[in-house]
Structure 1
Amino acid sequence: MSRLGPRDLVGLGLVGIRTRKMRAALSSLGIAIGIATMLVVTGIPASSQADLLRTLSALGTNTLQATPVPDRNPPVLLPEDAPAMVARIGPVLTASAVANTHSVIRRNDRTDPADGLGLSVLASKANLLTTLNGRVRVGRFLDATSESLPMVVLGSVAATRLGLTGLPFSGTGPQVLIADQWCTVIGILDSVPLSPDIDRAALIGWDAARTLTHFDGHPTVIYLQAEEDQIEAVSAVLPATIDPQKPSNVQVTRPSDALAAKRATESSFSALFLGLAAIALLVGGIGVANTMVISVLERRSEIGLRRALGAHRGQIRAQFITESVVLSALGGVAGTLLGIAATTGYAWYQSWPLVIPAGAALAGLAGALATGVVAGAYPAMRAARLMPTEALS
């Protein structure tokens, strides 16, 4: 018999599939279920992981806070240009600051001037909310226009203590007294988990604070967001950047404990993916191997006839391995589509971001082909060992 070309080999490999369609479909179904299971057990945890990591990121995994070292005499003052210097650090994405004006906020002029309701009045940079992942509940935050005007934004607790739960849809907002100056409330914030002190504060613009209060321009807290994988490096250089003359006067918070949790989560999920994928492929491969062994037993006459017509053992092995690979490939494609559909539906139901690991999909298809080769190896060798007289008897 002449040498078989690739097209002839594929044609022979498809003979068993075409003549036993139901068995071929059931065999491919085993692989399809295995690959679909692999994608589901990687895609759903990956989508859940993405949602978890998004939640952890909102807790400040890439956020640092710098303050003067407390209890120094005289008190430590951070340089006025410190926020701008911090923003120039390469991995820093955004930097902002607040400063205590040591002023009192009152609802009206009939309130005792000494009663500040436990609230602080802070000078704020216009990008503070972005840096702290904060949100405005009603109204708007300070911007380049309003930061020099007598306008104020209230934290969630501050608004409640001042008896303000909302703002009018149109017209001028309510007014409060800050350092005996009337200021218009333009916004109320939701709670800010990264800095609870903001919840109990009234925020006025940096320039407005200089005009309305005795604010000297020195920040008391500097916030920053940096590239997450560089957060430790930024923390190390931050004191010297803020105060080059006396870096020991600067106290920097450690990276959030949520960052360690986030990294541990990434590691544990990766190990889980590998274990579940291996089990899924093993189950599918056993199903294909079982089908191919039965196929060899049922096709003894066909094998004997081909051997009698001149087919050598290598061609017989190639025929059955090709059939096994085609069965596995069909199951792999079907399983990939099924797994993607199932993962998409579940992620949508849970309101998670959809994550289909491309590596898992490609590995699933490659694994299906490899499984076909391995699963078909023994049946192919068994078929090749059959002698023509034994197979035709």
Structure 2
Amino acid sequence: MTDALHEAWRGVRGRPGRAVLSGVGIALGMATLVLVTGIPASGQADLDRRLTALGTDLLVAQPSAASDDAPALPEQAAAMVRRIGPVEAASAVASLDARVRRTPFADPNDTAGIVALAATGDLLETIRGRLASGAFLSTPELPTAVLGAQAADWLGITRLDPARPPQIAVGDAFLAVVGILAPMPLTPELEQAVLVGWDAARELGFDGHPTVVYLRAAESRVESVRDVLPATLSPELPGLVGVSRPSDALAAKRATQGTFSALFLGLAGVALAVGGIGVANTMIVGVLERRREIGLRRALGARRKDVRRQFLTEAMLLSVLGGLTGVVAGTLGTLGFAAARGWPPVVPLTALAGGLAGSVLVGALAGLYPAVRAARLPPTEALAT
């Protein structure tokens, strides 16, 4: 095998111009393969990132509003949900029977649709929310509140001074506003709410039972988590616990995956086939030009299989060198295109490995006929030309 590689390398090096032209065909095929898999994969990663930001992994569980017999959620509802394997984060809120007013002198019937909710400090992380200003409920035992974006607008509180936080009336209590949430289109009910610390809410008559549980689960397991949530939160009456269906963004995300894969791989296959034809053509011409060399080797005792192995190895070597060149060029092209578009660069390793294996296979197929033809040349006929 070492002798065959040595002879193949001598054959490639002895005709550098023709070797380069043959290798270019395979290199273009491999570069095309990497580009048509890497660029769509990078675009897919960017699309997945954008769709994930729309809440493809977010579920909301609460007692069914359609039933008066809906059970109250257990006090440890969030902790119970976190014990479900695929669940990554969970947090609960509870409705408070308290009116929200800008000042105690405001009309108690004029609440502008603002609701008061008890919340824990991990709510913002669970729903992937952001603060427009201030801080969240880091000290839930203190009489503080965080306003949703719409609630802040309705109350006329758009700026916060940490030294002199504004106060609002929630029920009969006065709470200092320490934060304002940024808009959260996935959870519009929280935009219209005033969030109160879980422990501080007990001073307003809160009984400790949450009314809504927000959770994030592994995206691939969202449906299975949704199926077991009702029984987890209410083993006796699971049918009276409603769970939101997975976001429409998740369905859109899955629909886009693999849409163009077959087309792109088909184009790459055509490119590799064209490169293989170039290698085959070069090897056939090489056999015609090297008839004397073949005849001399046969006359000196080389067997047919030795000649066949030499030309087959040479064709595969050309393909491997061209394939490696194409991998480098395609990878650089993918990285550059992704960087220009602001996408996360993705170069599928399976495409690289499959492409290199494909280039070796193309080289073997391209060199098979020339190798067999060279091996069948009679020594006397080859030396006579």
Question: What TM bracket, shorter-length normalisation?
Answer: over 0.9
- The answer to whether the 8 Å contact 1:82/1:243 transfers is no
Q: Find 2:211's aligned residue among 220, 226, 229.
A: 220
Aligned residues: 384
Q: Find 2:181's aligned residue among 164, 182, 189.
A: 189
Q: Find 2:88's aligned residue among 77, 86, 93.
A: 93
Q: Which moved more, 1:186-195 or 1:171-180?
A: 171-180
Match of 1:359 in 2: 350
Q: Find 2:28's aligned residue among 33, 37, 41.
A: 33
Q: What is the deviation of 1:357?
A: 1.0
Match of 1:390 in 2: 381
Match of 1:174 in 2: 166
Q: Which runs of 5+ in 2 are unaligned?
A: none
Q: How does 1:245-264 map to 2 (within 5 A)?
A: 245-264=236-255
Match of 1:3 in 2: none
Distance in 1 (alpha carbons) for counterparts of 2:135 and 2:156: 19
Match of 2:157 in 1: 164
Q: What is the deviation of 1:268?
A: 2.6
Q: Find 1:136's aligned residue among 131, 149, 152.
A: 131
Match of 1:290 in 2: 281
Q: What is the deviation of 1:272?
A: 4.3
Matched, 1:369 2:337: no
Distance 1:74 1:314, change over 3 A: closer
Distance in 1 (alpha carbons) for counterparts of 2:265 and 2:135: 48
Q: What is the deviation of 1:197?
A: 1.0
Q: What is the deviation of 1:38?
A: 0.7
Deviations 1:14-65 (A, max 9, x none): 2222121122112112111111111111111111111222222222322221
Q: What is the deviation of 1:180?
A: 4.0
Q: What is the deviation of 1:325?
A: 1.0
Match of 2:142 in 1: 149
Return the letter of the residue paired with 2:201. A
Distance 1:173 1:351, change over 3 A: farther
- The answer to whether the 8 Å contact 1:95/1:131 transfers is yes
- The answer to whether the 8 Å contact 1:103/1:179 transfers is yes
Q: Which moved more, 1:227-236 or 1:262-271?
A: 262-271
Q: Which moved more, 1:317-326 or 1:232-241?
A: 232-241
Distance 1:137 1:297, change over 3 A: farther
Match of 1:105 in 2: 100
Matched, 1:322 2:313: yes
3-state DSSP of counterpart to 2:323:
helix
Q: Find 2:234's aligned residue among 227, 236, 243.
A: 243
- The answer to whether the 8 Å contact 2:70/2:241 transfers is no
Q: Which runs of 5+ in 1 are unaligned?
A: 1-5
Match of 1:9 in 2: 4
Structure 2-normalised TM-score?
0.92
3-state DSSP of counterpart to 2:91:
strand
Distance in 2 (alpha carbons) for counterparts of 1:326 and 1:117: 77
Return the letter of the residue paired with 1:128. L
Q: Over aligned residues, Cα RMSD in angstroms? A: 2.1
Q: Find 2:68's aligned residue among 68, 73, 83.
A: 73
Matched, 1:56 2:51: yes
Distance 1:278 1:313, change over 3 A: same
Distance in 2 (alpha carbons) for counterparts of 1:336 and 1:73: 65
Percent identity (aligned): 54
- The answer to whether the 8 Å contact 2:25/2:272 transfers is no
Deviations 1:110-148 (A, max 9, x none): 4322221222221112111121121222222222xx211
